[in-house]
Amino acid sequence: MSTAAAWQRDVRRLFADSPLAGPLATLIVVFILLSLFVPKFFTLRTVSGIVNAATLVGMITIGVTLLMISGEFDLSVGALSAMGGYLYAFNTMDGGSPVVAFLLAILVPAAMGALNGLILTWTGIPSFIVTLGTRSLYRGAAWIVSGGVMVQTLEKLTVYNVFNGRLDVVNNLFRGARFRTSLLWLLLVAFICQYVLVRTRHGNHVFATGGSPGAAQAQGVNVKRVKVINFMVSGALSGFAGVLLFSQYKSVQVATGAGWELNAIASAVVGGALLTGGSGSIWGALIGVLLISALRTGVVLLNISFIPADNFPAVVGVTIVAAVILNNWLRSRA
């Protein structure tokens, strides 16, 4: 066997055996290319900005990834983020209890996520259709809760800094860095969910449910319960994203989170998750979030006339298609 053929075999084996190899290699290539064409792209200030922008969608992406591994989708996550943001805002402003505010912002979206799962398991309607409908329903619920107005505050509460303040312990060490505490919360949740996914029975059931629901059911896996739990987790993390958003920007509106579901799905797919279920990883999905955040920043800094900021979803759509094609090609060559 020639050296070139052996090298190609080793590369294919690396991409097949390591789910993070492909997403990580893509991220590195994108950063290198953007650094060549965008002045001062690869600086701590720009990189920390990319990371900060990724944390909110990243929190949602973790829940969406769990669902996709189990073979389902959730298009209502953006609306649930708006609901979580409103509940957190109303209950922290004017002397409200931060603990109560946080619990409401997590538990109410979790219950709404559970409703998604129950409708799915009771009716057998595909999750894409179920959550397409509940997305509008939950957005309407956020409108009712808020009266349709944007809520904002000038209060500088400690709890806001805890969830999404400046991470000065890191920023002071690196000149130009602008990291925020939301990064720590994202990493904490990611570690917990990745551990559950690869080290617990529930994680095994998630992969089994997405890989072959019928076979999983035959082996004693409660497929319906697995899916409802994952929808609950997705809802809770969407609410958490709303908490992080309001803590940083001190404002929330009915349209908050619009389009996040597409970014989350794209990130999960870029990270190696299959649209058919049964495969994926939390860390791979977060690499996907960073990749899309970097692309958005690069498009803005390059000032490309035919891709204005409002048309960035077109880039996300192309990214999804390209990632699916690449994943299928790598699996066929493995």
Helices (H) and strands (E) in the chain, counts: 15, 2
Residues of the domain holding 193: 15-333
Best-predicted range by mean pLDDT (24-28, 79-83, 312-316): 79-83
Whether 239 contacts 80, CB under 8 Å:
yes
Between these two residues, 110 and 4, which has the higher pLDDT value? 110
Q: Taking the CA of residue 291 as centre, how many other CA atoms within 13 Å lie in the half-sphere pointing to its CB?
A: 32
Between these two residues, 22 and 248, which has the higher pLDDT value? 248
| Total domains, the chain | 1
The answer to whether position 2 is within a domain reads no
The answer to whether position 242 is within a domain reads yes
The answer to whether position 270 is within a domain reads yes
Q: Give the residue-averaged pLDDT of 1-20.
A: 58
Place of tokens 């990883």: 281
Alpha carbon distance 123, 129 (integer Å): 11
Query: DSSP label at 156?
Result: -
Structure tokens at 110: 């979790």
Q: In which band, very low, low, confident or very high, does the pLDDT at 105 lie, cut at 50, 70 and 90?
A: very high
Is the pLDDT at 310 greater than 70, yes or no? no
The answer to whether position 3 is within a domain reads no
The string of pLDDT tens digits covering residues 251-290 is 999 999 998 998 999 899 888 888 889 989 999 999 999 9
Q: pLDDT at position 306, please? A: 57
Q: pLDDT at position 302, please? A: 76
Q: pLDDT at position 240, please? A: 98
Q: Flag the least confident range among 2-11, 235-244, 318-327.
A: 2-11
pTM: 0.91
The answer to whether position 5 is within a domain reads no
Between these two residues, 70 and 304, which has the higher pLDDT value? 70
- Identity of the residue numbered 236: A
CATH number for the domain spanning 21: value is 1.10.3470
Alpha carbon distance 219, 101 (integer Å): 41
The answer to whether position 151 is within a domain reads yes
The answer to whether position 182 is within a domain reads yes
The answer to whether position 309 is within a domain reads yes
Q: pLDDT at position 314, please? A: 73
Non-local CB neighbours of 73 within 8 Å, separated by 6+ positions: 64, 67, 127, 128, 131, 265
Output the average pLDDT for the chain.
88
Query: DSSP label at 124?
Result: -
CB atoms within 10 A of CB 114: 18
Alpha carbon distance 54, 33 (integer Å): 20
